[in-house]
Copies of this chain bind each other. A is one copy, B any other.
Amino acid sequence: MKIRIVTIGKLKEKFLIDGVNEYLKRLKPFAKIEVCEIAECKTLEEEGQKLLSQVLRDSFIIVLDVAGEMLTSEEFAKKIAALNLHGVSDITFIIGGAFGLSDEVKRAASFRLSFSKMTFTHQMARLILVEQIYRAFKINRNEPYHY
């Protein structure tokens, strides 16, 4: 399974860089995962186009959207397992920037995922995402996860 996380802007806080890197390292045995950071643009539309330009053909696109569907960690794990079973070998997660997501990005989404009704910084969302992806692989492999 190949996973690409496409985001706006670089992580600024050192603790978030360290946290995201820690989970990327833990994910290495399970998936080929990479993070692609796009520079902030002047308009949402431009940002959307830049985000989508990083998505590979045939990739399943999951967009993080506060108005999207909420899943439990187990449901999220099942979703990833089901995609794998159906021959999807490439998933792209898109995290918008501080100003949200363009309509074009929302329309391109194969699935819109909401972590919470609460607003998180998009930087924090990146940390939560990699932890949930890691958790999903642990759940799907029936491996213990200490939390």
Contact = CB atoms under 8 A, between A and B. Distances in A.
Contacts of A16: 15, 19
A13 interface: yes
Given A19-B19, A131-B121, A116 B70 contact: yes
Interface in A100-133: 115-124, 127-128, 131-132
A76 B132 CA distance: 24
Given A124-B131, A128-B124, A118 B76 contact: yes
Main secondary structure of the interface of A (DSSP, over half): helix
A119 B72 CA distance: 7
11 contacts: A14-B18, A15-B16, A72-B118, A73-B119, A76-B118, A115-B118, A119-B147, A120-B131, A124-B128, A124-B131, A128-B128
